[in-house]
Amino acid sequence: MKRIVIATLALVAAAGAYAQYSGSYTFGGSTTVAPIAYAAIERFQKENPGLKISYEAVGSGGGLKALLAGQISLSGSSADFSADQLKGAVATPIALDGLSVIVNKKGTGIKNISMEDLARIYHGDVTNWKQLGGANAPIVVVNRDESSGTYAAFWELVCQKPFGKAIAYTKNAIVTKENGEVAVKVLATPGAIGYVGMAFAQEVIKAGGLELSIDKVMPTTANVVAKKYPISRYLYIVTKSQPVEGTVEKAFIDYILSPMGQAIVKSADYIPLPKK
């Protein structure tokens, strides 16, 4: 009996997956979710040739506003909206976004840093490791370029609380284009500090770098999932109501949650959802 139920379920799921969708849809929202959305939309459209979806990267707040106003039918969000803000809309987690702080072992002399000190480094208020109880050496700040999503995410998660919403990183920082370049610069420069996507930090550790714990919490997937590690957040897809079976929105969410979709999440440098 059980087997039949499973087989039936599998069939239904398969039928669902192969159902063809068509029409024009507008999604929108978070710029952080955009790389996932763009890649998923591209694949999803290939499987459904009659379908046209656009994703407007207007930010999480703008996306929710447009969703509630009925201008779009699905929005991406990197903000953890409260029930009040959602006004009945439903947020489905689709991925995790976590950043690791890495330093060069030479010329730093610390293994843990508080969120506050980290923010002060990137705001330019602390310029020597001695001020944080480390080595007497200048801090070489490695940042990402202005248009990177990680650049905005790091400000939002680390610096926004003490220094406000408008990004005001210290300008006296090495600007790099990719996670890989951050790693290379940090590994080659004594006293250097940088941040990379969590998935990338393992490469840095293998190459001799050091991953800092933040307020004594190590950046592990488990700590991120338990919401203990502070430089992390969930990414969501928000729909106006509980997604309804048979709609494009539901199929799209299912697609992102499928192994295929989670692979897209990973290749966009985010953390796939933990397997339950």
Partner 1 sequence: MRRRKILEGAVEATLFAAALLSVVTVVFITAFLFQRGSPLFEKVPVLEFLFSSRWEPTAENPGYGILSFILGSFLVTGLALLIAVPAGLAVGIYLAELSDGRSARFIRSAVELLAGIPSVVYGLFGIAVISAVSRTLFGGSGYGALSAAMILAIMTLPTIISVTEVSLRAIPRELKEGSLALGATHWQTITRVLVPAARSGILAGVILGMGRAIGETMAVLMVGGNAPIMPSGLNGMVRTLTMNIITDMSYATGDHLTSLFATGMVLFAFILVLNLVVQLALKKSISDLEGKSGE
Residues that bind partner 1 (CB under 8 A): 138, 140, 145-148, 166-167, 171-177, 184-185, 188-192
Q: Which residue, 175 or 225, has its beta carbon nearer to partner 1?
A: 175
* Three-class SS state of 76: strand
- Distance in Å, CB of 196 to partner 1, minimum: 17
* Element (DSSP H or E) covering residue 198: helix 198-206
Q: Which residue, 72 or 173, has its beta carbon nearer to partner 1?
A: 173
- Distance in Å, CB of 108 to partner 1, minimum: 13
Alpha-carbon gap, residue 188 to 69, rounded angstroms: 50
Q: Which residue, 144 or 240, has its beta carbon nearer to partner 1?
A: 144
For the CA atoms of 203, 209, 214, 215, the dihedral, rounded to the nearest 10 degrees, stands at 140
Q: CB atoms < 10 A from the CB of 47, how many?
A: 14
Given a contact cutoff of 8 angstroms between Cβ atoms, the answer to whether 240 and 73 are in contact is: yes
- Distance in Å, CB of 190 to partner 1, minimum: 8
Q: Which residue, 15 or 188, has its beta carbon nearer to partner 1?
A: 188
* Three-class SS state of 71: coil
Given a contact cutoff of 8 angstroms between Cβ atoms, the answer to whether 256 and 264 are in contact is: yes
- Distance in Å, CB of 201 to partner 1, minimum: 20
Q: Which residue, 46 or 171, has its beta carbon nearer to partner 1?
A: 171
- Distance in Å, CB of 127 to partner 1, minimum: 12
* 243: nearest Cα among 16, 59, 34, 81: 16
- Distance in Å, CB of 135 to partner 1, minimum: 15
Alpha-carbon gap, residue 126 to 2, rounded angstroms: 63
Q: Which residue, 177 or 227, has its beta carbon nearer to partner 1?
A: 177
For the CA atoms of 218, 224, 229, 233, the dihedral, rounded to the nearest 10 degrees, stands at 140
